[in-house]
Amino acid sequence: MRNRRGGARRAPGELEAEVLSVLWEAEEPVSAGDVQHRLPGELAYTTVVTILSRLHEKGVVTREKHGRSFAYRAVDDEAGLAARRMRKVLDNEPDRGSVLARFVSTLSESDERVLLELLRRHEGEE
């Protein structure tokens, strides 16, 4: 699929993922302009601001005022973001037990062992 300029169009969510990668690599909050310069290709500044604003609305990034603009930081690392997405899906299901049972039934043996170990550790913390 091509965009209006004849370049390849990104898959849905791909641009957000690229922006998050830039934020994860940064050691401190970064401006939209910094994000724009660190992304591959020629992406418009307004597009970067829009993506950062959407991520902020979703609660995935925080922003703090720096002069007349904002500096952005990712709330979670990649694993934390994946866990947040999984929790959101689960929260939107009326029969959580069935969803969890179906999920667990599709795990590989090694993933089952990891999950069991994590649950044992979690029980020990309470």
Band the pLDDT of 1: cuts 50, 70, 90: very low
73, β-bridge pairs: 62
Residue 108 CA, chain-centre distance (Å), reads 24
Residue 59 CB contacts under 8 Å (≥ 6 apart), including other chains: 75
Reported as a single tens digit per residue, the pLDDT across 13-43 is 899 999 999 999 998 999 999 999 999 988 9
**% helix, strand, coil for the chain, step of 5:** 60, 15, 30
Reported as a single tens digit per residue, the pLDDT across 81-120 is 999 989 999 999 999 999 999 999 999 999 999 999 999 9
Reported as a single tens digit per residue, the pLDDT across 45-66 is 999 999 999 999 999 999 999 9
State what percent of residues in the chain have pLDDT above 70.
94
